[in-house]
Structure 1
Amino acid sequence: MKAEREKINAKVKADTVRLTGGKLELTADEEMCTFLLVSEGSCTLQMGENSLLLNPGSALLLGAGDAVLSAASAAVPELVGCRFPLSALHELRSTAQRDFVRLFVPGEATVLYGPVPWTRRLRTLLEMMRTAMPEQDYPGGLYLLLILHYVEQECLAESSAVARPRNETVEQVCAYLAANYRQKFSLTEVAARFYLSPYYLSRLFRRVTGQSIVDYLNNRRIESAQKLLETTELSISAIAEQTGFASAAHFRRVFREVTDISPLQYRKKQKK
Structure 2
Amino acid sequence: MSNYLEIPEFEDSIPFRMFLNDGMTIVYPHWHTEIEIIYSRKGKVNIGVDDTIVQLEKGEIYIFPSGEAHYFLASPDSERYVYQFNLKLFDEKILRTSEDSLISLFASGEPHSRYWPKELTQKATELLVQLYGVEEQKPAGMKYMSVGYLYQLIGELYLHLPRRIAEKAQTKRSAIQYKETLDLLNQVFEYVEDRFQEVIVLEDVAKFVGFSPYYFTRFFKTNTGQTFMQFLTEYRINQAKFILANEKIPMVEVAEKAGFSSVKTFHHVFKEAVGQSPLQYRKNLNNH
Under TM normalisation by the shorter chain, which class is it? 0.3 to 0.5
Larger radius of gyration: 2
TM-score (norm 2): 0.45
